[in-house]
Structure 1
Amino acid sequence: MAASQATLKSTDSEAPVYNGPIFDGDTHIQEKDYNFFSKYLPEKYHKDWLPARKHGSDGRFGLFVGETRVENADIREDGKIPPPGKLKEWLMAINTGEAVAASADPTIDMYERDARVAKMKEFGVDGSIMFVGEFVATFGVLGVLADEKGPEGMNAVLHAWNQYLVEEWGLNIDDRVYATPVLALNDIDWAVQEAKWLVENGMRVCVMPMGPANGHAPADPIFDPLWQVLNDAGVVVTFHVSEANFMHSLIKEWGEEPMQSRRKGQTAWQWMFCYSELPVMMTMASFVYWNFFERFPNIKMASVENGAEWLPRCLYKMDKMRGMARSGFWPMGQMKERPSAVFKRHCFVVAYPEDDVARIVADIGTSDCILMGSDYPHAEGVAAPRDFADEALRGMSEEDIRKIMYENGRRMLPKGRTGIVA
């Protein structure tokens, strides 16, 4: 984008004013209800697997998968939600242990396609990735139930969600809203068939759980049939913050319990070591070290809602540990270049509005792999995507602001492409 198309100014004391187009790397559906699961999930799975908001046997209202309560889903019976963009209030609430007041009703753009497209136009958003809403809280429970009962029921739930997206939203809405169907590695045969069906229905980006599956790293060749489908279609693979089931055994070893309420039950230690940063660092570093992008060069990856403060140290350590392991075992062969270079070329990271993005960019030497994300319509984001520049990009150059607010995202997901992403 030419500089004349945007008015920008950025100093340490003055917020940048950005008037150009936006690519929002983190937006969400706010589910109005879960009736669509009754429609798309075959009835034989309802007893043990149907996601629903309801009262449990103890009378408490909450989100359930079958009869299993999803403890880390904090929802209200009246359907009220915290208003979008209460970032400062949300951060203050984290410090006090309180919640941001749920005082707003979901608006139609949060749960209906045409209204969402209109809202993105109103915001000046040229492209956006739209993730699951509170349904993301079920990922941990689905994984545990799959371990207990086998993956068939989880596959059915994920397909029901994906069918809802295909039939009621569309996976690519005018190159403005890209919905994220869910894929998982627990059952590779199912994943391959699901991915083929999704590609046929226009999938441009998917979301997957972080970590290994069935005792294998995600880049293990056992999963190559799935990656080949995604590579051939140029699908962007994202890892959004969610329950990292592979951390559960570690949590229990330390005498703590996984899948507790984020606000009332999760300990500081779990926040620090078992949620968000470390799981995504381990996941993305594993892909790089397994020479994944040499085998599948058309796949791009993105970390979403895990912040970006971890990135400089992670890239430094990835390069250093490559040297430490130079004479060690490399599952898919020794790397031919620095891991950090591979990461910067193939991977993207959505920064938090509260991150010191200028410092992060200075430390890693480029803004090319950083994306903005409003988290709309969630409270912990910004009220409107354009506010991200004000919150996060002070002190940055006009070029870096343009890249983070728009160009990097659009390069990751070019318009009008249904095949290979360059």
Structure 2
Amino acid sequence: MNLNYDAYDADNHLYEPIDSFTRHLPERYRSAIRYVDVDGRTKIAVNNKISEYIPNPTFEVVAAPGAWEEYYRGNNTEGKTLRELTGKPIRCHPAFRHPDDRIKLLDEQGVFGTLLFPTLASLLEERMKDDIELTHAAIGAFNRWMLDEWTFNYQDRIFPTPIITLPDPRRAIEELEWCVDNGARAVLIRPAPVPGLRGSRSMGLPEFDDFWTAVEQTGILVTCHASDSGYDAYANAWEGGRDEFLPFKPAAFRLVVGHGRPIYDTIAAMICHGLFERHPNLRVASIENGSTWVAPLMLELSQAYGKMPQEFAEDPVETFRRHVSVSPFYEEDIAGLIDAIGIDRVLFGSDYPHPEGLGRPLDFIKEVEDRSPTDQRKVMSENLQELLTLRPAA
């Protein structure tokens, strides 16, 4: 499939090799991240605790892109497990590791540009939240590996997203400025409460204002991409058992209560704690969190405004529509999302090459085929270009 314009995908991924976290990690922290052998299989251990977050953290073999599409469309009528749906794994394609190969693949797919997110790195912050120094060191080390291998702007087509961790706002500013100086067009901030020495807190509180001022000054896009946000603790309170978020071992209760909850709370905190009132030029994009959380949040914001308008500088629903863009899952009610937040705030994202994404990214256009050509072009191309400041705002 080829469009008559340049498609921009808001959600592509790389697969990290085993030195991605350790190449630049300071020597004193080298034992904090290790790859270990467990019964003949390689696992990642963080702070001496083996993680099953990703069953095969070396990514030498992976599930085929789009292998789970029917599952996520709700068409798993035979009740197969994700492993059964995966079938035979494939060898990790060079395009999942190297930018030149990725450019060739994008050309084959008919996609011109994309945001590029890590995969395994989304486990780091939650497993290090009790050690602020280690968290900042590990995230900084990963960002430097990403710059080595991918850059932060590859040929004005691939835009890798370095991670900004917020426990120490001063260090977050330093990392942000380093990322921008090295060409970053977007950064990734985990949708979760920010850990701290005195407990966790909202990133929308005034104590983070110096950081958000720096974001405004750079004009960079902030993406809140799905990560391990620590929310399995809430499910554990009901079901007990595991103490680790396992995205590829879903359970019905955890799926129902956890789907979209971290991003719901994150955007609610940003709005209710006045972040956009104090920083009116911020741009935030929700990536790989779906969109089913949007309507419930808008309802609650509207009701809160009706009850206590003095807590808001304006209608918080309008604040949402002005500052937040959303990349929905392909299987969701995208027409309803467009009605809720406006066509200018909806982003095409394929989640390629993950098995839960689309095997052919441009198939996403089928989900907006009932919209006008102008609207399709906004979703598939122009909205992300504008957020990346690749074209002037209308």
Alpha-carbon shift at residue 51 of structure 1 (Å)? 4.8
**2:119 aligned residue (130, 133, 150):** 133
**1:352 aligned residue (329, 335, 345):** 329
**2:237 aligned residue (253, 276, 293):** 253
Alpha-carbon shift at residue 273 of structure 1 (Å)? 2.1
2:248 is aligned with 1:263: yes
In the TM superposition, what are the counterparts of 1:16-415 in structure 2 within 5 Å? 18-31=3-16, 33-47=17-31, 49-52=32-35, 54-56=36-38, 60-75=41-56, 79-91=60-72, 95-99=79-83, 100-143=86-129, 147=130, 150-213=131-194, 214=196, 215-245=200-230, 247-256=231-240, 257-264=242-249, 266-274=250-258, 276-327=259-310, 330=311, 334-335=312-313, 337-362=314-339, 364=340, 366-390=342-366, 392-415=367-390
Cα pair 1:86 1:379 within 8 Å, conserved: yes
Alpha-carbon shift at residue 403 of structure 1 (Å)? 1.2
What is the one-letter code of the residue matched to 1:75? N
- Distance in 2 (alpha carbons) for counterparts of 1:77 and 1:411: 35
Q: Deviations over 1:180-202 (max 9, x none)?
A: 11111112222122112112112
Distance 1:323 1:357, change over 3 A: same
Distance 1:325 1:102, change over 3 A: farther
TM-score by length of 1: 0.83
Indicate the SS of the match to 2:266: helix
Instruction: Please say which of residues 221-230 and 75-84 is displaced more in the overlay.
Output: 75-84
Alpha-carbon shift at residue 176 of structure 1 (Å)? 1.2
- Aligned residue in 2 for 1:7: none
TM-score by length of 2: 0.89
Q: What RMSD, in angstroms, separates the aligned Cα atoms of the two structures?
A: 2.5
Cα pair 2:291 2:326 within 8 Å, conserved: yes
Q: Deviations over 1:356-380 (max 9, x none)?
A: 2123323x16212111111111111
Give the fraction of aligned pairs with identical amino acids, expressed as a percent. Answer: 27
Gaps of 5+ in 1: 1-15
Gaps of 5+ in 2: none
Cα pair 1:171 1:201 within 8 Å, conserved: yes
Indicate the SS of the match to 1:37: coil
Alpha-carbon shift at residue 128 of structure 1 (Å)? 1.0
What is the one-letter code of the residue matched to 1:157? A
Distance 1:280 1:365, change over 3 A: closer
Cα pair 2:33 2:44 within 8 Å, conserved: no
Cα pair 1:28 1:110 within 8 Å, conserved: yes
Alpha-carbon shift at residue 44 of structure 1 (Å)? 1.6
- Distance in 2 (alpha carbons) for counterparts of 1:83 and 1:404: 26
Distance 1:271 1:359, change over 3 A: same
Alpha-carbon shift at residue 110 of structure 1 (Å)? 0.9
Alpha-carbon shift at residue 408 of structure 1 (Å)? 1.0
Alpha-carbon shift at residue 17 of structure 1 (Å)? 8.2
- Distance in 2 (alpha carbons) for counterparts of 1:35 and 1:157: 12
What is the one-letter code of the residue matched to 1:216? R
Number of residues of Structure 1 aligned to a counterpart in Structure 2 = 384
Q: Deviations over 1:79-101 (max 9, x none)?
A: 21111122434435694223213
Indicate the SS of the match to 1:404: helix
Q: Deviations over 1:197-239 (max 9, x none)?
A: 1121122211112122233211111111211111110111111
Q: Deviations over 1:379-415 (max 9, x none)?
A: 111122211112x224222222111111111111122
Cα pair 2:224 2:287 within 8 Å, conserved: yes
